[in-house]
Every structure is written in structure tokens, then in C-alpha cells.
Amino acid sequence: EEINRLRSRYQLVALRTNNETTFKIACQTLDVDIISMDCSKRLPFRLDQSIVKDAMKRGILFEICYGAGTRDNTQRVYVLQMSKELIATTGGDNLIVSSEANTVSDIRAPFDVMYLMKAFGLPNDKAKFTTEKNGERLFRKLR
């Protein structure tokens, strides 16, 4: 019900969760545009590829937030693990990247982010789509 209320007020709705049940419900039934997980913490469950594919068929994007990895070594490991798992589960499709920056120094240039995604395992074309085109595609859908 809360998602429906938000949907009536906003064009773009994102959900952040690290709870397995909420994640499954979001992938399969909730009317959201983006599913984001807290990359600064260890994910307490394994991503189920069939559930993620359900979300992808519905046009939902998954957000990788790299900012925590610029601030702390432990969080850097979690960002890497979460990113690799999302890339493996999605095949590199339906991903967007954001800084989730607390300070200006946490923000990276677009090419740096693209190379970061390549370091996480994305091939050139998908790294470029993840950093440039998928966000643009999402905003075009809103028009």
C-alpha cells in the first residue's frame, strides 16, 4: 500500500532492502523502478537468479552504490562482493551505478566508474551501458 501511495506522488520509486523476503516481494510484485541494496554491509542472503530475472522482465533496475567502498576497507570488500553477485545474477543487464556519496571526494568521474565496473567483471559494452545508458533509459521512460 505504501508503494502505491508513493507511486501516485512520484514518477520514480526505488526500494532499498537487505531483507530477503522484502527483496523477493519487490522483484515479483511491487511497482518499483529500482531495487537498491546497502552495499556497505554484507548481504545476508544469496540472490536467487530466477527471482532477479522476474524483476528484470518487469523492467526493474538494480543499483550498485560504490561510495562506501571509497571510505572503508571492510565496506570496499562488501561493495565488491555485492557488485560481483549482482553482475553474475543479472548477466550485467538492468544495472545502474551511483556514488551514494557523503562528500564530493566520494564521487568519481564517469570513466572511472566505467572502469570500476569493468574491474568488477563487466565487459566493455555492459560497463558503458551500466554507467551511461541504463540511467538515461530509465529517465526517458518517465517522460
* pLDDT computed for residue 104 by the predictor: 87
Multiple choice CATH, 2-142, 3.40.50.2020, 3.20.20.140, 3.40.50.300, 3.40.50.880: 3.20.20.140
Q: Name which of 95, 92, 13 is nearest 62 in CA terms.
A: 95
Digit-by-digit pLDDT tens for the chain (143 residues) are: 788 899 899 999 999 999 999 999 999 999 999 999 898 899 999 999 999 999 999 999 999 999 888 888 999 999 999 999 999 999 999 999 999 888 888 889 999 999 999 999 999 999 998 988 888 888 887 76
83: left (phi over 0), alpha (psi -120 to 50) or beta: alpha
Cβ proximity of 75 and 40 under 8 Å: yes
The sheet with strand 34-36 has its strands ordered as 14-16, 34-36, 61-65, 95-98
CB atoms within 10 A of CB 39: 25
Task: Fill in the DSSP letter of residue 131.
Answer: I
